[in-house]
Amino acid sequence: MSSIQAVRSASAQGIQTNTPGKQRAVFMDRDGVFNEVDKHVNTPEQLDAALIPASLAAVAKLSRETDYKLIIVTNQGGVDAGFMTPEQNNAIQERLAQRVEEAGGRLDALYFCPNGKKFQVPAGEADGRKPDAGMFYHAAKEFGESIDLADSYMIGDMSTDIGAGEKAGTTTLLVKTGFAGKDGKCPATPDFIHDDLASAVEFILARG
């Protein structure tokens, strides 16, 4: 069962990286990576209709063949903006976790950031909303500060995913599904570029 949580902000304090033997994680964006973005996803049924089957299979393979923590980090500013209720959003995240399980995979955690653009970040903390790295810091703490962000990956389709992954100190992989990095929202250079989640996963597996 995946842990599904809202993350508004988190502090980087106390997080250590480059520590041998620490747990590694693969962070993954949702929209544009697990589902197509040409339609809105405001209900579980809309998620089902937009899902990319090869992405579910790719996570299943990562689950079987590695011990990476598998964590979704997704901006859902539509919650604060009122495009969907918190209940609808939760139902969509639960549906994704369920579909991953049906495909034979697992998600260790699914974090979403409901913050709208006007959210006031507490002093000393990082915004959960990408391109800030709050969701990554939250993850590092949630898993007993055991996740080594420097030994982890972030996979996403937008510049904000790459920016957040960079800020957190992960290796960043841009995929050409969804916005394919053409959103222009922030200056960020991915470490690697892949066609889709499936090929990004093959790359991670090949690296060992």
Where do contacts with Mg ion occur on this chain (CB under 5 A)? 29, 31-32, 157-158, 178
148 catalytic? Reply is no
Residues making up the chain, counted from first to last: 208
Other Cβ atoms closer than 10 A to 49: 12
Nearer to Mg ion, 148 or 157 (CB): 157
Which residue of this chain has its Cβ atom nearest to Mg ion in the complex? 32
* In the chain, alpha helices (H): 44-50, 53-65, 78-81, 86-102, 134-142, 159-168, 197-207
- Closest CB 154 distance from Mg ion, rounded Å: 11
Q: Which residue of the set 29, 108, 132, 161 is catalytic?
A: 29
- Closest CB 54 distance from Mg ion, rounded Å: 16
31 catalytic? Reply is yes
Nearer to Mg ion, 104 or 187 (CB): 187
β-pair type (3-6, 109-113)? parallel
CA-wise closest residue to 91 among 119, 105, 112: 112
Nearer to Mg ion, 143 or 192 (CB): 192
Residues labelled as active-site residues: 29, 31
